[in-house]
């Protein structure tokens, strides 16, 4: 078994940087949406907030890179993957329920589809540094 | 919005990102020259914040204030965190991570422009 600290070094440095950007973007976006126009689209904005929490958890857990935090990161990233696939599919199927965009709408189209690629890379990296 | 400052920020951030990528490709860590460029970008971002707030207070446009201010303030914390994250890494990947942070600045500037012209 490799040193769990390997998670935050090498290519992991870039992965965590991208996660950090999304943690920040999702948190700021959800914060502004909820503070200024929550009643417009409560479900979408709550999902935005959940996405923000998951990105923050994944970022900090990957960056901490201990045996325990790697488990936290894996859980967060699996939820992230399920979230982006489910919200992505729902936002195409029932667009009326998603009047305003979340990070995960349309599989992260508004963010260059990075949100759908990121959890896959995250899980591959966690596996690689196991 | 003051367009020349915005384009200056976009151009200089992309140049800094390219510089960081070159360092990573040559297996180098980030250096003082790159940190100096980041310092210049940071000062320009502060100027952009001041210019943005003044213009927002005077405009008759229908600009979303919270999003506009959010992008202005958010852009300030990216490079310091990125530099810290890069310095704490002893391999080339630190410079690579900093390149990501540098690329975020032009994206934020373009989003800022979108919010302003919406």
Per-residue buried b or exposed e for B23-57, using 16+ beta carbons within 10 Å of the residue's own CB = bbeeeebbeeebeebbeebbebbeebbeebeeebe
- Length of chain A equals 130
- Which two structure tokens, joined as six digits, stand for A121? 């890379």
Q: Which of A83-87, A103-107, B59-63 has the highest mean pLDDT?
A: A83-87
CB contacts < 8 A, A to B, total 46
What Cα–Cα distance (Å) separates residue A52 from each residue in A49, A76, A79, B98?
5, 11, 12, 22
CB A107 within 8 A of CB A115: yes
Residue B72 distance to chain A (closest CA, Å):
12
Nearest CA distance, A14 vs chain B (angstrom) = 4
Using N-to-C axis directions, what is the helix angle for A42-64 and A67-93, rounded to 10°?
150
Please tell me which residue of chain B has the smallest CA distance to A30.
B67
CB–CB contact B66 A17 (8 Å): no
Please give the distance of CA B23 from its chain centroid, rounded to a whole number.
Answer: 19
Q: Which residue has the tokens 């919010």?
A: B115
Task: Give the pLDDT of residue A37.
Answer: 85
Query: What chain B residue is nearest to A35 in terms of C-alpha separation?
Result: B66
Q: Is the pLDDT of residue B111 over 80?
A: yes
Report yes or no: A35 and B117 within 8 Å, Cβ to Cβ: no
Contacts A26 to B, Cβ<8 Å: none
Number of domains into which chain A is organized? 1
The 10s digit of each residue's pLDDT in B52-90 is 999 999 988 888 889 999 999 999 999 999 999 999 999
Domain that holds residue A12: 4-129
| Cα(A88)–Cα(A39) distance, integer angstroms | 22
Give the B-side interface with A, CB within 8 Å.
66-67, 70, 74, 77-78, 81-82, 85-86, 89, 91, 93-94, 96-98, 100-101, 104
Are A59 and A13 contacting, i.e. CB atoms less than 8 angstroms apart? no
Closest residue in B to A10 (Cα) is B93
Residues of chain B with Cβ-Cβ distance to A65 below 8 Å are: none
pLDDT band at A1, cuts 50/70/90?
low
Q: Which of B67, B81, B93 sits opposite A20 (nearest CB)?
A: B81
Instruction: Say whether pLDDT at A100 is over 70.
Output: no
Interface test with B, best of A11, A13, A59, A128 (most B CBs within 10 A): A13
Q: From the CA of B98, how many Å to the nearest CA of chain A?
A: 8
Answering whether pTM is above 0.80, one says yes
- Asked whether residue B39 carries a pLDDT value surpassing 90, the answer given is yes
Of B83, B99, B2, the C-alpha closest to B35 is B83
Q: In the prediction, which pLDDT does A78 show?
A: 98
Best CA proximity match to A27, nearest among A61, A50, A43? A50
Residues 6+ apart with CB under 8 A from A127: none
């Amino acid at each position: 078994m490799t040193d769990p600290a390997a998670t935050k070094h090498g290519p992991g440095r870039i992965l965590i940087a991208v996660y950090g950007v999304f943690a920040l973007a999702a948190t700021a976006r959800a914060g502004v949406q909820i503070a200024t126009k929550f009643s417009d689209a409560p479900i979408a904005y709550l999902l935005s907030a959940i996405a923000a929490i998951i990105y923050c958890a994944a970022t900090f857990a990957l960056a901490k890179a201990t045996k325990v935090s790697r488990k936290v990161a894996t859980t967060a990233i699996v939820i992230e993957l399920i979230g982006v696939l489910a919200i992505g599919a729902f936002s195409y199927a029932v667009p009326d329920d998603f009047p305003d965009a979340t990070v995960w709408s349309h599989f992260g189209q508004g963010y260059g589809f990075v949100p759908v690629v990121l959890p896959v890379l995250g899980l591959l990296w966690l596996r690689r540094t196991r | 919005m003051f367009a020349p400052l915005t384009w200056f920020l976009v151009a200089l951030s992309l140049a800094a990102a390219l510089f960081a990528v070159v360092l990573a490709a040559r297996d180098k860590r980030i250096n003082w020259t790159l940190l100096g460029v980041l310092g210049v970008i940071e000062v320009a971002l502060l100027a952009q914040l001041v210019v943005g707030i003044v213009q927002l207070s005077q405009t008759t446009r229908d600009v979303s204030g919270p999003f506009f201010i959010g992008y202005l303030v958010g852009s300030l914390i990216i490079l310091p965190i990125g530099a810290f994250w890069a310095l704490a890494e002893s391999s080339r990947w630190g410079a690579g991570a900093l390149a990501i942070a540098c690329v975020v600045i032009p994206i934020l500037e373009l989003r800022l422009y979108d919010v302003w012209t919406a």
